[in-house]
Amino acid sequence: MKLILPEALQARIETLACDAFPAECCGLMEGVRGEAAVEVLALHPARNIAPAPDRFEIQPDDHFAALRTARANGRAIVGCYHSHPGGKARPSETDRQGGGEENFVWLIAAPAGSGGPVAVAAFIYSAMSFFPMDLARPAGAGASSQ
């Protein structure tokens, strides 16, 4: 399984992760699912309401707004993104405990500091586990950089 992520959207996630450092950023990814790939077409940055700086919890109003927008666009929320400031771009034990939606994509951006560099990796949650996804660029141009 691969995640098709336009370069501009990845760059936006990396910027959000650096801007939030040392706290975690978070948001949702809008797109479409295929048999072999999930394609991200828009981002929905969200407020992180977690009480601890090393956790993320998407503000419910932001989640509902993203769902409404995705539906209006004829698409779905295909995954979430969040950062691991100063950490690794892989699911943490907290992420494992928070996973639950089958075939939901988790993109993790791990900035080394507020100025980067940022490691990025994607995983799909399935059968109560995270599995790595290959990151790919779309064949054509024209993705939204919301």
pLDDT tens-digit series, residues 108-136:
999 998 888 999 999 999 999 999 999 99
pLDDT tens-digit series, residues 38-88:
999 999 999 999 999 889 999 999 999 999 999 999 999 999 999 999 999
Domain boundaries, the chain: 2-136
Partners of residue 82 on adjacent β-strands: 26, 108
SS (H, E, C) the chain: CEEECCHHHHHHHHHHHHHHCCCCCEEEEEEEECCCEEEEEEEEEECECCCCCCCCCECHHHHHHHHHHHHHCCCEEEEEEEECCCCCCCCCHHHHHHCCCCCEEEEEEEECCCCCCEEEEEEEEECCEEEEEEEECCCCCCCCCC
Q: Using CA atoms, how far apart are residues 70 and 73, in angstroms rounded to an integer? A: 5
Entry pTM: 0.93
Give the pair of three-digit tokens for residue 138: 């779309």
CATH class given for the domain over 2-136: alpha beta
